[in-house]
Each structure stands twice: as C-alpha cells, then as structure tokens.
Amino acid sequence: MKRIGAGALSAVLVLVFTTNDCRALTFIVDSVADSGVGSLREKITQANGAAGPDVINFDIPGAGVQTIVLLSSLPTITDTLEIDGYTQSDAAPNTLERNSNAVIRIALAYNGVVSGSNGLSICAPGTVVRGLAIEAFETGIFLGAGADNISCASGSADGTQILGNFVGMDPDGNGSGLTRGIFVNDSSVTIGSGIAGRNAIGDYSIGIFFVGTGVAASVVEGNLIGLRPADGAALGNYYGIMLLDGTALRIGADNAPNRIANGFVGILAYESVVDTTLYANEFGSHTNLAIDLCSKVICPDGATANDADDGDLGANGLQNSPEIFEVKAGVDAFVISGSLDVPTDVTNADYRIAAYWSEACAPAGTGPGEMFLGSGLVNLSGGAEDFDLEVLTALPFGGVLTTTATSESGNTSELSECLIVPTDSVFHDSFE
C-alpha cells in the first residue's frame, strides 16, 4: 500500500486506514470549523481509526492566530497520536531561558456549556501534544480519562508528553482558565522538557493535578505555572501542583526548575505521596506555603514542625527540613552551615540540601523560595547531623535564604525557616 502524502484528500485517507495498514499517517487540519472536512475533530476521529501512531499537523489558511471554536469536547484520543501546533505557519517554540517567547498560532476555545468540558482528552499511550493554546475549558488537558470524564484503564496515557503549550490562556498569554489546567489520572506522563518544551499553565484553580497510583514516575519540569509567559507576571492560580497520589514523581530539575506563583499553595502533597522530589523549583508569593506536606485527610494543613529523629508519617514521610545557622558568601559561591535531624538508625546517608533566595520571608516564616540557587549532597548519620554545604553560585546580598532536604529515596521536605542574608560581608577565597 502506497503511503498517502500530507496533502491527500480526507476521503482518500479514510480509504487508507480502513485497509488496516499500520504505518503512521499524517493528517492535516486546514479548517477552523468545529466539525466537518478538514477539522481537528474529523482528524482525531480518523487518527483513532488508523492503527498505530499517527500525526496531526496544521495548515489553516490565513495569517496570525487560528482559533478553533468548539461546540462540544473533542473526541477522546484512543490511539497513539502526535498533535503539533508548531506546524502552523509562523508558529515557533520558546527560546528563552526563563520566560517564554513561544509563538502559538493554533488555539482551542469553547462555545458551549463549560462545566465538564475538556480541551483534549487522552486515553492513548505515547501521545504528544505541542504548540497549542487551550483556552477556557473546565479541564485544559485530561490525561487518562475520556471526553465524558470517565476514567480509562490504569496506565492508558503512559508515556504521554505535554510540551510547549499555553494551557488556560490565549496565544498572547492572557489567562482564561477555569478549574484544572492539566489533570493526570492514573498514568505516568511528562509535562515540560527543555526550553522548547516549556508549558505555560495559568489562571486555574489547580494548575496540574495528579491522582491515582499509576501517576508514579511522572515528570514535571521547566514549566511556568501561574505565570504569564511574556513577563512572568502572576496570573493567580490557587494551587500550582496538587498531588493526591504518587510515588517517585519528579517535580522540577536542577537545570529546569518549574516557576510557580499562585495565590495559596505552590505544591500540595497529600499523605499518600511518597519518594517524590520537589526541591528544584522557584516559588512566588503565596498566602500559605510554597510546599505543603500533609499528615492527615485535612489538606492543606500548614507548616509541619520538625520532629525528633524524623519518625512521623505523612506525605513524603514528613521529611524534616534543615535548620540553617549561618551563610558565608564568596564571590561565586556560598557556604551554608546547618543541621538536619535524621532517624537514629541512619548511617552515612546522602541527603540533598537545596538552597533558595527570596527578597523577604513569607508570613508563615518559611520560604517563599523565589530563586532556586542550587543543591548539593551532604553525608549524615543519626549521630552526625551537622553539615557545611558549598553551593557554586553567587548569593544575592540582603533578603533571606531558605532550604529543603531530600532523602536518598527522594522524599523532599517543606521549606525551612528563613535565615537573613548579610548585606555587607563577603568572604573571598577561603570563606574565613
């Protein structure tokens, strides 16, 4: 069977995929219509019927943003599919280190009853969504559930990647969201990867929501959550990331922290969350906490005090946070002196201490952690809990320093109490 090219007619494509040819097909959206020939709705339906991974590209006539106004949720994606909005004329992924200059030319908007609506619903493994602006839907992208909001089988969206999208905002980065930006249900996924894959997720009650044991090992890195992409201005998400369940998730990376600015809590973790790294992120102002690890059903529950020998239970084992005594700043590095209370049976365990700078301490007395400065390992035992950690980056003078601790299994703590940074003391070579 000869593979049909990108410009082939829809009718011919239908004939191709009904022959059970499993080779990947490329479907072209060339209409902003809700349905019918050339529409996104039609192409998702066709791709679902074509066995094997397929691609949807865009070639809608006209310059500038092309907005597809939907009258109902799109069909659930049930077969592996790549949807690439950057194939539309004049679209381009982000190239900035911190904000986003992505040029989005394909937008999904909704003109129906918003309650219960999804921008995209994904129940297929290995799906990729990039280069779309997904405006006002109750859920921007629902992974692991259908357009009817009924859960798919556990792991149905495993390996899906959400890259370089504006979710809960228009292509200019203005907020337009409602309840959930990205809802991950019982599947292991990647949200954001590298500069070009940075998502901007804003103006929602919950930016990203994880639920179900199948979300284990999901990765969220390098995104703007609750921030306008062009200038980093806060949009006002209530919760940045909510983790109802999860084991061994990674939220943030040393070279790709998420930037999270929300009205209430940055990252909220319920008691079923374990071994989940949360340290490599930057947090704007919050009325509650940057990271809140909950110990009971009531969540959020505010700052958790350290306990002797770190024996309490809850999200991430309620990992104790460091107590920092002193910071000495050099020209291109600084040294933190502190202590971390660890279990008595711990011997020669490596804990990762991460440092954050903020202009001022948050009302709760911890964080907020506006600038992630870096991290390093300290080796501790139950009878040797003091540490000195050198961080190889310049420390801004003034403001406050705060830290987190992450155990060898990946449990990250809440942020520590703040330490005032000296404004006039610089130790040049030996920090002495």
DSSP string, 6-33: TT--HHHHHHHHTTT--S--EEEE---S
Residues 6+ apart with CB under 8 A from 150: none
What is the predicted pLDDT for the residue at 415? 97
What tokens does 353 get?
């201490």
d(CA 26, CA 53): 10
Specify the 3-state DSSP secondary structure of 155. coil
206-236 burial: b if 16+ Cβ within 10 Å, else e:
bbbbbbbebbbbbbbbbbbbbbbbeeebbbb
In order, the DSSP letters of 219-255 are: EE-S-EESB-TTT--B--EEEEEEESS-BS-EE--TT
CB 322 within 8 A of CB 335: no
Q: Would the pLDDT of 122 be above 50?
A: yes
Percent of the chain with pLDDT over 70: 92
Parallel, antiparallel, or unpaired for β 262-269 and 291-293?
Answer: parallel
In this prediction, residue 36 has a pLDDT band, given cuts at 50, 70 and 90, of very high
Q: What is the pLDDT of residues 243-275, one digit of tens each?
A: 999 999 999 999 999 999 867 899 999 999 999
Q: Would the pLDDT of 112 be above 80?
A: no
d(CA 56, CA 41): 11
What is the predicted pLDDT for the residue at 320? 98
Q: What is the pLDDT of residues 174-199, one digit of tens each?
A: 887 678 999 999 999 999 999 999 99
d(CA 201, CA 81): 22
**In 291-348, beta strands by DSSP E:** 291-293, 323-329, 334-339
Specify the 3-state DSSP secondary structure of 87. helix
Over its C-alpha atoms, the chain yields an Rg (Å, rounded) of: 23
Locate tokens 């130790």: which residue?
427
Which amino acid, 108? Answer: L
CB 201 within 8 A of CB 258: no
Q: Which of 195, 196, 194, 218 minimizes the C-alpha distance to 208? A: 218
Q: Which of 272, 259, 270 minimizes the C-alpha distance to 300? A: 270
What is the predicted pLDDT for the residue at 262? 66
Q: Which of 5, 79, 15 minimizes the C-alpha distance to 49? A: 79
Tell me the CA distances in angstroms from 419 to 84, 161, 261, 402, 416, one per residue in order.
46, 39, 22, 6, 9
DSSP class of 349: E
What tokens does 30 get?
């060339």
Q: Which helix (H) or strand (E) element contains residue 46?
A: helix 40-49
CB 367 within 8 A of CB 289: yes
What is the predicted pLDDT for the residue at 202? 87
Q: What is the pLDDT of residues 294-326, one digit of tens each?
A: 998 789 998 999 999 999 999 999 999 999 999
Tell me the CA distances in angstroms from 293 to 234, 277, 407, one per residue in order.
23, 12, 15
What tokens does 257 get?
């922290």
d(CA 267, CA 263): 12
Q: Which helix (H) or strand (E) element contains residue 48?
A: helix 40-49
24-38, 108-122, 139-153: least confident range: 108-122
Average pLDDT value for residue range 116-143? 96
Q: What is the pLDDT of residues 72-97, one digit of tens each?
A: 999 999 999 999 999 999 999 999 99
What is the predicted pLDDT for the residue at 237? 80
What is the predicted pLDDT for the residue at 298? 85
Give the mean pLDDT of the chain: 90
Residue 90: other Cβ atoms inside 10 A: 10
